[in-house]
Structure 1
Amino acid sequence: MFQAVLKEVVENTEGGIATLLMDFEGIPVDSYSKPGAAFDITTIGAEFSVVLKSIQRAAEMLDAGNAAEIAIQAEKVTTLIRVVNNSYFVAFSMTPDANIGKARYLLRTKVPVLLKELA
């Protein structure tokens, strides 16, 4: 079930490369990558899980509320991270010229589906 949702996000976003459901400890639950993807989404998720935990702690210390979404734009790949709950997040990697607005929308609307399946 998870992979179908993850695939839908990638395939319905122009420039989508791969997406991943992962826990905050860096353990992947499921993923989907387009064939020949230049980046390993599991490695991206594991590396950014550390950064995400730091961002969450900083937001908490600033009394800013829970971090819900983070975007990392690099020269060759843009990664959008959306928090699912206290234990899981979704990471979505795309080309730098991808439609990030549509990616944000799809992740925001698919998180409740993933959350329901995690219960």
Structure 2
Amino acid sequence: MPFKAILKELVENSPGSTGAILADWEGEAVEQYCLADTYELKVTAAHQGIIIGQLKEVLAGFPTAGALTHLAIKTENQLFIVGVVGSDYSLVMTMDNDILLARAERCFARTIQLLIKEIY
């Protein structure tokens, strides 16, 4: 299944989602599906990649915590889920602030598994 179709399915199955982007280890967009501004989504992915890298370093000092899988970041106006896709990629999904986070996280986790199968 092509990356764009996987990302489109994620956004469409997560009510309130505004976009999803697969980025490489440098924060560069590999593929995206967006209902809003694509430039803003690309910038968001680049910055979230930096956050993932820093969190991985912090968690390396806490071996009992295990590996980072994903994190949710809530701002005043938006919600982001950022996840690790294998060792070289990340997935970022942007959403409205009032979505059902548990449902979005289930769809997000499924999407990560689909992307891992496609990439590796």
- Provide the TM-score with structure 1 as the length reference: 0.92
* Residue in structure 2 matched with residue 118 of structure 1 by the alignment: 119
- How much does 1:38 deviate? 8.8
**5+ residue gaps in structure 2?**
none
Q: Say how many residue pairs are matched.
A: 118
2:48 counterpart of 1:70: no
Matches within 5 A, 1:40-119: 40-63=40-63, 64-119=65-120
Deviations 1:29-69 (A, max 9, x none): 100001x4497211111011111100011011122221111
**5+ residue gaps in structure 1?**
none
Report sequence identity in percent. Answer: 25
Report SS of the residue matched to 2:111: helix
Runs of 4+ with >3 A deviation: 36-39
Alpha-carbon distance in 2 for matches of 1:18, 1:107:
12
RMSD across aligned positions (CA) = 1.5
